[in-house]
């Protein structure tokens, strides 16, 4: 399998590249399809009709297959898995697959790459495409060989008649320049999973060696002839307005231009270092603004925000009667999650070129088609006059700064009529990428004398989804209109999942209060809502177990009736060598170091991937520092396409979420973000990375679900339970800072 690495490849050049294209699959007419062409012929535009097979596949004269997907690889390895799916269904060698991803001129819009949905959604379509092509080739072979289609077999890119070895032809030769007009058959017979030879194998990702050696081309490495370099100068406060600009203050710098539109301000130069110096040197006056709450009071301020909608996620039984059940013990707890930044290691970067009424963009956005639409709207251009070409950038785990850097470049390129490269600085990335907003969860519950939970109330405060589409307004567009980001309601929403408990309880109330605003320009950050809600729910059931003196795994099993959920819990316990315990009863210490174990479980979104985890921690009673020694995860995402890829994803989630659990917290004043570097926004360091054991419960006969987010949701509560087990202190506010652990111990 190969990636299309020529990010400047035009549509015509792509159709001309290599040998002739020998087959097209099309629903409508050859005029809309990628047509047969001799080498050097112009060819026609590739179809983007999502109902046509040629929107997703092309077979070349040399037997290679090109697969087109609107999804993109954000460093997760999903392109390898998608290539495996097509290779399996189409019966072609894996190394004959080339992936074209996220180019809006060549790929169908398959939605933003988020929510662990690449395999679950795009994978289904590509599986159907591969199978549709396979069955069409079998029918063609049956006609060519004069035998019933039932006697046609396919393997390694060849069709053959069973029992007649001479009747065998490669796919490309078999078709010999015929054009097949085919719709995508969504009802096509798929290959029996028990016959898989490619899916289920740990095939190495092609992109990894180049990333290790430094040979990979990232968005930051791309250059366009004649491009200029730009830096955008941001407001001094989140709600500030631009009052004046003193261009004379950079009079000593040559070949620099200042562009101002509304509150959008940028400097453009022929050399990048000149642009950096100009941005630092330019004297700018902004209005005062101080509308943020005090950081120490942010959760109370969040609770006081105007609520514009209430989502009832669960309402069974009678919650008040359950809480008042005779003999039951009750518990109340509040959990809080801070605002956090995406913290991409490489600051966002993009290039834009506006020429002859058309805009071409190079971007690391996780939503090429959505970003294209947003920028077309900002520039008042028809969408078909904007092309976005995906290029891999620094990792993003939700909507970070990639889209905003792209909008910066697009605005400047259209204004100046030359290609523009925008490279954010570290203070831009930390200060102005959209944030994962703060969340508060309040729970009340009751457990009876038999150790059964009889009531569960969960109420949370999270942002309301202002716009029904999946976008976050572009920063350049907001500033261009002369508004400020505080005036533009840009809450991400879609954060209510996993608010309801995944356990069987007779009386349940789960309500999500949707606040009209939040304090920062917000977006989704890995596991949005699910992470925070699961932290609260799983910490709470741990606290109920401690209240009743019951082993926390045993209490969970008592309230589960889902066989797959039970299986992952038992698998994690077996792998970790769990020994039954009442929470907080196993305090063990050697000197200042106390050790403990905690558990957590989730069915992600309430309807897909199952995850159970056990954390082994060490807590330094003298310093308050927490170290995760080992993390064990059992994971059931249905059919596993690439086991190594799934394990990579799980390990990455553990490391990143442990960082978010122990260290990460947005710092801010009453007017602006103050955690603008790695000293003020602390991350997990290499010595803190634990040993990670993963157990995959493969389910070949089940649908393939996502693996890029679910495991993150069990990390904080498992760690919190382990800390309680070690030192008897319950941590309810993330991050679990050493100073807070000491304060809790001392209290």
CB atoms within 10 A of CB 347: 20
What is the pTM assigned to this prediction? 0.92
What would the mean pLDDT of 32-38 be, rounded to a whole number? 26
Tell me which of 41-45, 224-228, 352-356, 428-432 is least confident. 41-45
101 — pLDDT class (breaks 50, 70, 90): very high
Q: Helices (DSSP H) in 187-271: which residue ranges?
A: 208-213
586 — pLDDT class (breaks 50, 70, 90): low
What would the mean pLDDT of 224-252 be, rounded to a whole number? 96
Q: Helices (DSSP H) in 283-347: which residue ranges?
A: 298-303, 319-323
Residue-averaged pLDDT of the chain: 90
CA distance 602 to 584: 22
Question: At CA 467, angle to CA 464 and CA 468, rounded to 5?
Answer: 95
What would the mean pLDDT of 170-182 be, rounded to a whole number? 78
179 — pLDDT class (breaks 50, 70, 90): low
The answer to whether the beta carbons of residues 393 and 219 sit under 8 Å apart is yes
Percent of the chain at pLDDT exceeding 70: 91
The per-residue pLDDT for 30 is 25
CB atoms within 10 A of CB 181: 15
Architecture of domain 219-288+343-432: 2-Layer Sandwich (3.30)
Say whether domain 548-746 belongs to CATH 3.30.365.10: yes
pLDDT tens-digit readout, 303-345: 999 998 899 999 999 999 999 999 999 999 999 999 999 989 9
617 — pLDDT class (breaks 50, 70, 90): very high
Does position 42 have pLDDT exceeding 50, yes or no?
A: no
The answer to whether the beta carbons of residues 81 and 642 sit under 8 Å apart is yes
Length of the chain: 747
The answer to whether the beta carbons of residues 76 and 650 sit under 8 Å apart is no
The per-residue pLDDT for 596 is 95
- Secondary structure letter of residue 247 according to DSSP: G
Tell me which of 129-138, 493-502, 653-662 is least confident. 493-502
CA distance 664 to 477: 29
Does position 356 have pLDDT exceeding 50, yes or no?
A: yes
Does position 13 have pLDDT exceeding 80, yes or no?
A: no
Residue the block writes with tokens 């009750």: 330
In sequence order, the 6+-apart residues with CB closer than 8 A to the CB of 219 are 349, 350, 362, 363, 364, 391, 392, 393, 402
Identical fold for domains 2-212 and 548-746, yes or no, is: yes
The per-residue pLDDT for 373 is 95
Residue 454's H or E segment, with its range, is strand 453-463
CATH of domain 2-212: 3.30.365.10
Tell me which of 46-55, 169-178, 190-199, 471-480 is least confident. 169-178
CA distance 628 to 654: 10
Is residue 735 reached through a cis peptide bond, with omega within 30 degrees of 0 on the bond before it? Answer: yes
SS3 584: coil
The per-residue pLDDT for 488 is 52
Query: How far from 243 is each of 75, 82, 533, 734, CA to CA, in Å?
Result: 42, 51, 42, 39
Residue the block writes with tokens 């408990």: 501
SS3 65: strand
Percent of the chain at pLDDT exceeding 90: 79
Does position 2 have pLDDT exceeding 80, yes or no?
A: no
Tell me which of 11-20, 415-424, 429-438 is least confident. 11-20
**DSSP string of 374-424, one letter each residue:** HHHHHHT--GGGEEEEE---S--SSS-SHHHHHHHHHHHHHHHSS-EEEE-
491 — pLDDT class (breaks 50, 70, 90): low
Tell me which of 60-74, 81-95, 489-503, 650-664 is least confident. 489-503
Backbone angles phi, psi at 233, to 5 degrees: -100, 115
Protein fold of 295-341+435-476+483-515: Aldehyde Oxidoreductase; domain 4 (3.30.365)
The per-residue pLDDT for 385 is 97
The answer to whether the beta carbons of residues 618 and 627 sit under 8 Å apart is yes
Question: Residue ranges of the domains in the chain?
Answer: 2-212, 219-288+343-432, 295-341+435-476+483-515, 548-746
pLDDT tens-digit readout, 337-353: 999 999 899 999 999 99
* Alpha-carbon torsion, ordered 657, 663, 664, 670, to 10 deg: 160
CA distance 545 to 553: 9
Does position 9 have pLDDT exceeding 70, yes or no?
A: no
């Amino acid at each position: 399998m190969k990636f299309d690495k020529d990010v400047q490849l035009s549509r015509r050049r792509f159709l001309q590249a290599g040998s002739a294209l020998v087959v097209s699959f099309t629903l409508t007419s050859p005029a809309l399809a990628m047509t047969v062409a001799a080498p050097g012929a112009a060819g026609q535009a590739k179809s983007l009709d999502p109902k046509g097979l040629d929107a997703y596949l092309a077979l070349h004269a040399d037997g290679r297959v090109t697969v087109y997907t609107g999804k993109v690889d954000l460093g997760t390895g999903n392109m390898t898995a998608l290539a495996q799916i097509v290779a399996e269904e189409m019966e072609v060698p894996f190394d004959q697959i080339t992936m074209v991803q996220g180019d809006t001129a060549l790929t169908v819009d398959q939605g933003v790459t988020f929510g662990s949905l690449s395999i679950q959604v795009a994978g289904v379509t590509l599986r159907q495409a591969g199978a549709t092509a396979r069955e069409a080739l079998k029918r063609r072979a049956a006609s060519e060989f004069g035998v019933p289609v039932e006697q046609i077999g396919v393997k390694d890119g060849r069709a053959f008649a069973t029992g007649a070895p001479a009747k065998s032809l490669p796919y490309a030769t078999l078709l010999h320049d015929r054009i097949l007009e085919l719709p995508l058959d969504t009802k096509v017979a798929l290959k029996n999973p028990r016959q898989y030879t490619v899916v289920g194998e740990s095939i190495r990702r092609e992109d990894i060696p180049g990333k290790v050696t430094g040979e990979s081309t990232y968005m930051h490495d791309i250059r366009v002839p004649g491009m200029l370099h730009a830096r955008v100068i941001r407001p001094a406060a989140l709600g500030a307005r631009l009052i004046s600009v003193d261009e004379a203050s950079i009079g000593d710098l040559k070949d620099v231009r200042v562009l101002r539109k509304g509150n959008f301000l940028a400097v453009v130069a022929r050399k990048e270092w000149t642009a950096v110096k100009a941005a630092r040197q330019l004297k700018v006056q902004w209005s005062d603004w101080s509308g943020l709450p005090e950081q120490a009071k942010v959760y109370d301020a969040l609770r006081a925000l105007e609520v514009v909608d209430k989502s009832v996620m669960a309402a069974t039984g009678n919650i008040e009667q359950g809480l008042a059940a005779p003999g039951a013990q009750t518990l109340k707890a509040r959990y809080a999650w801070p605002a956090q930044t995406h913290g991409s290691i490489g600051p966002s970067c993009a290039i834009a070129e506006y020429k002859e009424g058309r805009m071409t963009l190079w971007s690391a956005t996780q939503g090429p088609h959505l970003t294209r639409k947003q920028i077309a709207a900002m520039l008042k251009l028809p969408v078909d006059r904007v092309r976005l070409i995906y290029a891999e950038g620094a990792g993003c785990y939700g909507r970070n700064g990639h889209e905003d850097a792209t909008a910066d470049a697009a605005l400047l390129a259209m204004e100046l009529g030359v290609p523009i490269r925008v490279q954010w600085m570290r203070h831009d990335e930390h200060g102005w990428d959209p944030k994962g907003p703060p969340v508060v969860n309040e729970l009340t519950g009751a457990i009876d004398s038999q150790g059964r939970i009889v009531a569960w109330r969960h109420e949370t405060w999270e942002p309301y989804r202002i716009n029904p589409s999946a976008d976050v307004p572009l920063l350049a567009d907001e500033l261009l209109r002369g508004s400020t980001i505080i005036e533009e309601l840009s809450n991400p929403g879609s954060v209510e999942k996993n608010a309801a408990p995944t356990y069987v309880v007779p009386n349940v109330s789960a309500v999500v209060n949707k606040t009209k605003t939040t304090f920062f320009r917000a977006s989704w950050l890995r596991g949005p809502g699910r992470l925070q809600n699961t932290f609260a729910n799983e910490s709470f059931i741990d606290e109920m177990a401690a209240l009743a003196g019951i082993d926390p795994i045993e209490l969970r099993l008592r309230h589960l009736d889902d066989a797959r959920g039970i299986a992952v819990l038992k698998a994690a316990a077996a792998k970790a060598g769990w020994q039954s315990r009442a929470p907080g009863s196993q305090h063990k210490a050697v000197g200042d170091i106390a050790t403990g174990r905690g558990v957590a479980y989730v069915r992600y979104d309430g309807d897909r991937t199952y995850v159970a985890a056990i954390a082994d921690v060490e807590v330094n009673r003298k310093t308050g520092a927490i170290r995760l020694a080992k993390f064990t995860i059992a994971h059931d995402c249905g059919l596993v396409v690439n086991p190594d890829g799934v394990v990579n994803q799980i390990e990455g989630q553990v490391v990143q979420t442990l960082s978010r659990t122990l260290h990460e917290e947005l710092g801010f004043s009453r007017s602006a973000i103050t955690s603008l570097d790695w000293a003020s926004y602390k991350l997990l360091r290499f010595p803190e990375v634990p040993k990670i054991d993963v157990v995959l419960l493969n389910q070949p006969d089940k649908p393939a679900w996502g693996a890029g987010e679910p495991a993150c949701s069990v990390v904080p509560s498992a760690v919190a339970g382990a800390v309680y087990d070690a030192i008897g202190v319950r941590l309810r506010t993330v991050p679990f800072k050493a100073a807070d652990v000491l304060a809790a111990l001392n209290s």
